[in-house]
Structure 1
Amino acid sequence: MHTGQLTVSEPVVRRLVGEQFPQWRELPVTEIASPGTVNAIFRIGDGLAARFPLKDGEPDGIRRWLEAEAEAARELAGSTRFRTPEPVVIGEPGAGYPLPWAVQTWLPGVTATDDDPAASVLFARDLAEFIGGVRALDTRGRTFGGSGRGGDLRAHDVWMETCFERSEHLLDVPRLRRLWADLRGLPRTDADRMTHGDLIPGNVLVAEGRLAGVLDTGGLGAADPALDLVAVWHLLDAGPREVVREALACDDLQWQRGRAWAFQQAMGLVWYYLDSNPTMSRMGRRTLDRVIR
């Protein structure tokens, strides 16, 4: 999926686990098929998950990133009634794998990629409760300070232009350019709130049409409160989307900014992952279909 992407296999993970955490040496290690783009995931026994970064980097920088993810996961754990992974330990490079890696608790459930909750009103209510619960966390004076989604929409103009150029043969780009021109300058008056930051189907667990848990909590942080509304376009049909809007009392501007953030994310998925991760590419197309209706 990425230039210079790292590979890691079950035998390598077994060796790393056995050498560094002998208390888990006898537990089975199983690679988990996932459309995720950041980490390779391996299950250790019944209760643990090991995450191995796929993009190469400087080990100390990766360690700081993993430590920040763990801190965010600890902050979110138990703050809502929905389960989220809890950090366990950070592993060391070895056995041919060059970077630190992380172990966290394993959550049961099926991702929304495989168990589609799009028409479920009960899931929509759960999703609104989760978003509202995250928003209620204390920012402790933190504000958005990154370069990713959650700040100024207009800061993404260059990336969106790249996406439009790369998508000429895939999408109705003139129509999408017009939509971005309308959305990019939406005003904002609400203050930064805490957000999960990446509520896409692969990070959402479903059981019997309800929200069972939320993964990939390392992006927790202060941002535009509309950011987590990307989930309603990634995950829900029109009727359940309105359930979320009503439950969160979103005004028109906040709702449209959520639509804009979903649009920005989806535009990058379709062309970038067209061949390397078809699941993510299809997700982008589905979200764009919802955004432009």
Structure 2
Amino acid sequence: MAMHEDQLDLPLEVAVRLLSPLLPDLVPADVRRVQSAATTSHVLRVGPDLAARFPIVASDPTTARAALEAEHRAMAEFARISPFPTPEPLAIGDPSPEFPMPFSLQTWIPGTVAGPVTVAASDAFAEDLAALLTALRSARTQGRSFSGTGRGGDLATHDDWVQECLRRSRDLLPVRELGELWSRRRDLERAGADVMSHRDLIPANLLVAGGRLTGVLDAGGSGPADPALDLVAAWHLLDASRRTRLRARMGCSSLEWERGAAWAFAQAIGLVWYYDRSNRTMAALGRSTLSRLLEAERSDPAGTNAHTR
């Protein structure tokens, strides 16, 4: 089942023909599809060291190329900041009559993709995640601040989307309780100036081995944002004890921590109904994150949230 309208198919032989101008010595057998929960790209591995990402959804090719160029700049900047390996941009491929969109060629980072529970009880992973966030927060924004309509700016601007998600989730989730949780967080004020952020720290974008963080993927959207935004990773990946450990390591105030929970909610609430039949991995992530948020709310309904009342 297709995840999106206007979804593009990408036969392997077409991918090989598109990649050949960038890699004249390409051996077709070295190009293979990567099974992943990616929602925006067809991901292919090219030999032992490279990866290619082809857009899943059609859009204006000129606009898409400009977006890829911006992503490559963000990836290069993130690679300079991150204490963990991350893909580096190499080239942008041209569209063709067989595939109407430009695409990205980048380095391949080996590792196992994390899951909502695979490192949930790992103290070492919580420490690694804190090290990543600390490194990002320590980097200079060079006078930039968050811009755009995605997550990372004003929580309240996402209220219409959340309300739509709640309506669409009536047969899938405890929407009354979830709605009450959101209503207590959507108007939380900012806790500080923008910092450098990954902006999409979901399990699919983190590589792990032996309970440690070994790589960070999909940094093309990284940039300045609300310092609470990357705290979504705590709710996507960690159990209660490890979240407490991360929070202490980061020195998060109650306000900042609650804003992080609100950003996690805003991301997770759309995953279940939208991907319920087309991407079970993403739907399961939505359920897991929302369950953690509800569990935390039930266990401390007036403690960490007291400042909101």
TM interval, short-chain normalised: over 0.9
Aligned to 1:248: 250
In the alignment, residue 84 of structure 1 is paired with which amino acid?
T
Work out the CA distance in 1 between the residues paired with 2:27 and 2:101: 20
Work out the CA distance in 1 between the residues paired with 2:9 and 2:116: 24
Aligned to 1:260: 262
- Structure 2 residue runs without a partner (length 5+): 296-309
Q: For residues 258-283 of structure 1, give each alpha carbon's deviation from its aligned partner in whole angstroms, at most 9, with x where no partner exists.
A: 00000110000010000010110010
Work out the CA distance in 2 between the residues paired with 1:178 and 1:114: 24
1:189 deviation in Å?
Answer: 3.6
Work out the CA distance in 2 between the residues paired with 1:14 and 1:109: 24
Work out the CA distance in 1 between the residues paired with 2:87 and 2:290: 29
SS in 2 for 1:291: helix
1:95 deviation in Å?
Answer: 5.5
Give the TM-score normalised by the residue count of structure 1: 0.97
Q: For residues 48-88 of structure 1, give each alpha carbon's deviation from its aligned partner in whole angstroms, at most 9, with x where no partner exists.
A: 00000111111111101111110001101132320011001
The reply to whether residue 48 of structure 1 matches residue 50 of structure 2 is yes
Work out the CA distance in 1 between the residues paired with 2:119 and 2:76: 27
Work out the CA distance in 2 between the residues paired with 1:169 and 1:242: 32
Choose the corresponding residue for 1:283, options 282, 285, 288.
Answer: 285
1:26 deviation in Å?
Answer: 5.6
Aligned to 2:125: 123
In the alignment, residue 289 of structure 2 is paired with which amino acid?
T
Aligned to 1:38: 40
SS in 2 for 1:225: coil
| 1:204-243 alignment, distance < 5 Å | 204-243=206-245
Q: Is the 8 A contact 2:113 2:207 kept in 1?
A: yes
1:115 deviation in Å?
Answer: 7.8
| 1:121-160 alignment, distance < 5 Å | 121-160=123-162
Q: Is the 8 A contact 2:16 2:28 kept in 1?
A: no
| 1:162-181 alignment, distance < 5 Å | 162-181=164-183
Work out the CA distance in 2 between the residues paired with 1:81 and 1:144: 23
1:162 deviation in Å?
Answer: 0.5
CA RMSD of aligned residues (A): 1.3
Choose the corresponding residue for 1:74, options 73, 76, 79.
Answer: 76
SS in 2 for 1:78: helix
Q: Is the 8 A contact 2:146 2:223 kept in 1?
A: yes
| 1:268-279 alignment, distance < 5 Å | 268-279=270-281
- Structure 1 residue runs without a partner (length 5+): none
SS in 1 for 2:81: coil
1:136 deviation in Å?
Answer: 1.3
Q: Is the 8 A contact 2:116 2:237 kept in 1?
A: no
Aligned to 1:92: 94
1:27 deviation in Å?
Answer: 6.1
Work out the CA distance in 1 between the residues paired with 2:92 and 2:117: 31
* Greater displacement, 181-190 / 44-53: 181-190
Q: Is the 8 A contact 1:170 1:271 kept in 2?
A: yes
Identity of aligned residues (%): 49
Q: Is the 8 A contact 1:111 1:202 kept in 2?
A: yes
